[in-house]
Amino acid sequence: MKPDSYYITTPIYYVNDKPHSGHAYTTVLADVLARYQRMFGRDTWFLTGTDEHGQKVQEAAAKAGIPPQAHVDRTVQRFVEAWKRLEIRNDDFIRTTEPRHKVIVQEILQDLFDRGEIYRDEYDGWYCVSDERFFTEKDLAAGKCPECGRDVQRVREANYFFKMSQYQDWLVEYIQAHPGFIQPDFRRNETLGFLRKPLQDLCISRPKSRLAWGIELPFDRDYVTYVWFDALVNYISAIGYRRDDARFARWWPAIHLIGKDILTTHTVYWPCMLKAMGVAMPKTIFAHGWWLSGATKMSKSLGNVVNPIDMLERYGVDPFRYFLMAEMAMGQDASFTEEAFIRRYNADLANDLGNLLNRVVSMTGKYCDGRLPAPEPGAFQQGPAAALLAQAAAAAAALKTAVENFTLQAGVAQVIEVVRATNKFIETRQPWTQARAADRGPLHTTLYAAAEALRICAGLLMPLMPGKMTDLRAALGMENPMTVNPDELTKSEVLKPGAQVAAPGALFPRIDAPTPAAETPPPQKVPASGTVGNPEGVLAYEDFAKVQLRTAKIMSAEPIEGAVKLLKLSVLMGDERRQIVAGIALYYKPEQLIGKTVVVVSNLAPIKLRGVESQGMLLAASKGECLRLVTVDGDLSSGAIVK
């Protein structure tokens, strides 16, 4: 290993899924960290990819009526496309169906089998088809799968097991002796908590009779490899493990970025597998939090995902990347709402950064014919210009530390502070007043220093917003605006006086937030015939207009004790969460409702039904014994007005 090399990975995503903003977060984060490291001159490798074996892929391919390989060749494109559009610069993309990966998994299995690390045994226990995992009796939650709550099957069959249990003591000691190994600290404690219970051996096979779409065990053709044993190996098969020692040594050990949902597989299974193989441990496994939609995890099965492509089409790729990085403190959960996006965009990008560029460009145009003026001699040795540039240099140092320590959000916040300080610097020095003085020196220093601070901020934000920051640096007259030399981030007087400064158009035009009032349909003129003398049963338009109907997404549903017809629902209407009690229990099972977009009377006064508050009413159509909820045709976000 070269001491300073940097190898960063994302989880490999299930190829069946459509990439959503949760997946986009991990990938953008890895991309941003990799771009910083490249910028700081470090030898960097960034790997992402797709997890392509398993039951769900087999089922989806069967449903589509095509062979699994053809199916994954098609669906993988969604990820490849999405990452391209999100400006992801990964160095490699691994697919677990590629021969370069499969052969390494088989060699590892054969080696572990030959060395007695894998043995065959009779398995008797519970199996969850959806999660493709085995559970013991006491793992079950009220007789159901502890992971997904679905029914489990009793299974008795011969399988192959990896002797994971023998590594338990070693792993606990390793984690305790290496505080940086699992981060953040509270996740490390979570793994140590998990390891307080006896560790079981890991079942690493699935009989082909049940699941054929996987990597065949080299020592028993009737079985395929358990998906996680296959998937984790991608991190080493992609960089030449057992094929190219020099290449492997150049990159390994890795920094694994993962979501908190896959902590155990990465911090327990994977280290034990590596230990058995005799491979060094990863440098760090960093588990970030979840993007939530309202209060629940954004995920396909809950039907509450935010499509990253929609976001970038609406607001541009760079603002979307910026939001993901600036809004979520690494490790914590964060809530994804369009409102939060617009708020942050307007505050940081439109009002602060975009505005600063506009000021510098327009005042340089007005007072200096669009050419960057030369500062007064010694202006950067002491005084306000020197202090401003010192603050920018300090932000550069802080950002570098933040990248190393996985506290990116704090580092970015410091850069935005410099932007604010520069705007303040302009307000305090009042170049519009300085321009009236006979001595133009102070004016020139003000404009030049503001441009310099802006140059440093743009360089520091380049990994987050490569397109916009290149435009910004070009606007300041830099010759090579795309390439940031790390030395220039702590220096002053880098911009060339006399350079042409020109606006690229509004860099971050302000977004007017859709106000609830703007969404409400304008008052309609009531037809004269509807206002007076209505025939019986005919509703005046103005009365109908009082009823507000909105779309809502059902996030959870549960029975109400003692009320056989009622279900208690939690729905999301835009950013608002509501509890609704609906008399639909005889027609829908709770699990059938989750993720449905329904129509709600949203301005009904709350009432209590069987002691449970209901804040609205669902629309449903019923005839005879049948009742069906009114839903919307196709995709529409929740909270939309129904008119």
Shortest Å, Cβ 34 to ligand MSP? 16
Shortest Å, Cβ 335 to ligand MSP? 11
Q: Which of 331/477 has CB closer to ligand MSP?
A: 331
- Separation CA 159–CA 229 (nearest Å): 14
Instruction: Tokens 């020197």: give the residue.
Output: 386
- Separation CA 79–CA 88 (nearest Å): 11
The values of phi and psi at residue 553, to 5°, are -100, 130
Cβ 586 vs Cβ 565: under 8 Å: yes
Q: Which of 91/261 has CB closer to ligand MSP?
A: 261
Q: Which of 96/364 has CB closer to ligand MSP?
A: 96
- Separation CA 598–CA 602 (nearest Å): 12
SS3 of 247-272: the string is HHHHHCCCEEEEEHHHHHHHHHHHHH
Shortest Å, Cβ 261 to ligand MSP? 5
SS3 of 135-184: the string is ECHHHCECCECCCCCCECEEEEEEEEEECHHHHHHHHHHHHHHCCCCEEC
Instruction: Tokens 């129904």: give the residue.
Output: 642
Q: Which of 86/298 has CB closer to ligand MSP?
A: 298
Shortest Å, Cβ 36 to ligand MSP? 19
Shortest Å, Cβ 15 to ligand MSP? 8
Bridging pattern class, strands 576-582 and 612-614: unpaired
Residues that bind ligand MSP (CB under 6 A): 11-14, 17, 22-23, 25-26, 51, 231-232, 258-259, 261-262, 290-291, 297-299
Instruction: Tokens 């240099």: give the residue.
Output: 393
Shortest Å, Cβ 11 to ligand MSP? 4
Shortest Å, Cβ 325 to ligand MSP? 13
Q: Which of 297/473 has CB closer to ligand MSP?
A: 297
State the Cα torsion 457-460-465-467 to the nearest 10°. 80
Shortest Å, Cβ 49 to ligand MSP? 9
Shortest Å, Cβ 96 to ligand MSP? 9
Q: Which of 126/291 has CB closer to ligand MSP?
A: 291
Helix and strand counts by DSSP (H, E) for the chain: 24, 27
Q: Which of 303/559 has CB closer to ligand MSP?
A: 303
State the Cα torsion 591-596-598-602 to the nearest 10°. 80
Q: Which of 13/167 has CB closer to ligand MSP?
A: 13
Single out the residue of 227, 273, 277 nearest to residue 97, CA to CA. 227
Looking at beta carbons, which residue is closest to ligand MSP? 22
Q: Which of 263/566 has CB closer to ligand MSP?
A: 263
- Separation CA 198–CA 35 (nearest Å): 41
